Amino acid sequence: MGYRENPRPGGRSARVQAAVHQSVRDMLATMDRAEVTIPMIAQRANVTPSTIYRRWGDLQALLADVAAAHLRPEGEPARIGSAREDLEAWVEQYADEMASGVGRQMLRDILAAADSANAEKCGTYTRYQLSVFIARAEACGEPFPTLAELMDHVISPIIYRILFDQTPDPHYVRKLVAKVMRESVVSA
Amino acid sequence: MGYRENPRPGGRSARVQAAVHQSVRDMLATMDRAEVTIPMIAQRANVTPSTIYRRWGDLQALLADVAAAHLRPEGEPARIGSAREDLEAWVEQYADEMASGVGRQMLRDILAAADSANAEKCGTYTRYQLSVFIARAEACGEPFPTLAELMDHVISPIIYRILFDQTPDPHYVRKLVAKVMRESVVSA
DNA sequence: CCACTAACGCAAATTATTTGCTTTTATACA
DNA sequence: TGTATAAAAGCAAATAATTTGCGTTAGTGG
């Protein structure tokens, strides 16, 4: 009865999941989110609507699932130079992606879902990425903010602005990073 | 054809709006959000479903409207002592309310709506409340953070935690306020 | 008091969702 | 290799939500 969280790769279930996810991405790219329906997604994915209803429950949950999958990091963030430079580059790209139309919509879909599992997942992704920079800095003996400081004073303000409709521009993002770095130096 | 944003008070339209809002609040208090439907809301409000569909569009939008109405501040925040004390008390209550089950759900409803007008409204409410503390501090010559500092380093982290499922506890909230106050003193 | 129109009610038509039952298909084990 | 098993998919009927056209009501301004 229960659907497994991570279907065995290559199985039928995995194929259906991939087809449905792809279908959702296609539709979101083509048309307005408000006119996307489960029957349409099902048709494009060559699947019956009831399959989607049984597996995901409703549109909200499906969209949240697709969004979370998209937001999952591919690997470790790029290494350019110092941990600070790496962080700056990463945050700037993060802000850009989240503030884009698609990114914003994904955020909303994730937060709107009744089940907060995807939201948690997202937070975990971000914390993981940041912890990589922290580890690098530590390895070099470079002074660096803590994870909590980065989450509270860099990530949170960016996300807040995006959600409440004030796009964070690159200059603003750099200022946030600069500030948190300055404080970490002082306290070190 | 168009529905006016603020119906004339006392008119039929205003009565319908009040009845529907009340109905929504009643239902959210009684039952799970997932089982609330427009036909049910309509019945309890003694209104036809089509009235609700025509006026609000869909459940998301209606819930966002109700939530935004609930979040609108009643008046100026309480005056207890210094601006700092006032701020501390207010933020603590703000965090509590937003982190509660109902508050969290309202936040989500507001953010999930296709139209971001309600989200913006909410942000404006918060900024307005904070600006009152700033004005008070200025009147007393008390050093105080700027609006941007408060939004970025107090409000944003609180909201982020709530949305991504880490309830901010009172101690954490006090620390945020303490930190932003400390910095404002340094820079003054 | 009358004309005007935004907003509502009603009901039929459409569309989405749920559900019981059947069939398919991976997988584990003989 | 088969064969048993169970998870997940398909199908179709039943239910529920949404949309829409049209007639009615009730505030508003003349």
Residue A66 reports pLDDT greater than 70: yes
Is A62 part of a structural domain of the chain? Answer: no
Residue A77 and residue A156 share a domain: yes
**What mean pLDDT do residues B22-51 have?**
97
Is B7 part of a structural domain of the chain? Answer: no
* Res B188: pLDDT: 55
| Domain membership of residue B46 as a residue range | 12-57
Which chain D positions have some atom within 7 A of a protein CB?
Answer: 7-12, 16-21, 26-28
Distance between CA atoms of residues B85 and A169, nearest Å: 33
Longest distance between any two alpha carbons in chain A, whole Å = 60
Is A65 part of a structural domain of the chain? Answer: no
pLDDT band at B26 (very low <50, low <70, confident <90, very high): very high
Residue B126 and residue B51 share a domain: no
Which chain C positions have some atom within 7 A of a protein CB?
Answer: 6-11, 15-20, 25-27
Is B18 part of a structural domain of the chain? Answer: yes
Residue B156 and residue B77 share a domain: yes
**What mean pLDDT do residues B10-30 have?**
96
Residue A182 and residue A151 share a domain: yes
CATH number for position A143: 1.10.357.10
Listed range (A174-188, B38-52, B92-106) with the worst mean pLDDT: A174-188
Query: Do residues B90 and B129 make contact, with C-beta atoms less than 8 angstroms apart?
Result: yes
With a pLDDT cut of 90, the percent of chain A lying above it is 90
Distant-in-sequence, close-in-space partners of B20: CB < 8 Å, separation ≥ 6: B41, B42, B45, B47, B52, B62
Residue A50 and residue A105 share a domain: no
Q: CB-based contact (8 Å) between A157 and chain B?
A: yes
Q: CB-based contact (8 Å) between B127 and chain A?
A: no
Q: CB-based contact (8 Å) between B34 and chain A?
A: yes
Distance between CA atoms of residues A50 and A54, nearest Å: 6
Is B148 part of a structural domain of the chain? Answer: yes
Which residues neighbour strand C (beta carbon < 7 Å)? A 8, 10-12, 37-40, 49-50, 53-54, 57-59; B 1-4, 7, 12-13, 16-17, 46-48, 50-51, 54-55
User: Quick check: helix, strand or coil at residue B88?
Assistant: helix
- Residue among A34, A120, A164 minimizing CB distance to B123: A164
Give, in Å, how far the C1' of D19 lies from the CA of B173.
Answer: 47
* Res B4: pLDDT: 67
Q: State residue B133 phi and psi, 5-degree precision.
A: -65, -40
* Res A185: pLDDT: 73
Give residue-wise pLDDT tens across range A93-142: 999 999 999 999 999 999 999 999 999 999 999 999 999 999 999 999 99
pLDDT band at A88 (very low <50, low <70, confident <90, very high): very high
Query: Do residues A102 and A56 make contact, with C-beta atoms less than 8 angstroms apart?
Result: no
Residue B16 and residue B100 share a domain: no
Strands, DSSP E only, in B16-161?
none
Residue A47 and residue A96 share a domain: no
Give residue-wise pLDDT tens across range B131-179: 999 999 999 999 999 999 999 999 999 999 999 989 999 999 999 999 9
Distant-in-sequence, close-in-space partners of A90: CB < 8 Å, separation ≥ 6: A77, A78, A129, A133
Residue B92 and residue B45 share a domain: no
Give, in Å, how far the C1' of D23 lies from the CA of B47.
Answer: 17
Give, in Å, how far the C1' of C6 lies from the CA of A32.
Answer: 29
CATH number for position A28: 1.10.10.60
Residue A132 and residue A76 share a domain: yes
Residue A101 and residue A53 share a domain: no
Instruction: Count contacts between A and B (CB, < 8 Å).
Output: 72
With a pLDDT cut of 70, the percent of chain A lying above it is 97
Residue A101 and residue A43 share a domain: no
Distant-in-sequence, close-in-space partners of A1: CB < 8 Å, separation ≥ 6: none
Query: Do residues A52 and A41 make contact, with C-beta atoms less than 8 angstroms apart?
Result: yes
Distance between CA atoms of residues A31 and A75, nearest Å: 30
Which residues neighbour strand D (beta carbon < 7 Å)? A 1-4, 7, 12-13, 16-17, 46-48, 50-51, 54-55; B 8, 10-12, 37-40, 49-50, 53-54, 57-59
Is A119 part of a structural domain of the chain? Answer: yes
Structural domains counted in chain A: 2
Is A83 part of a structural domain of the chain? Answer: yes
**Higher model confidence: residue B52 or residue A186?**
B52
Residue A118 and residue A32 share a domain: no
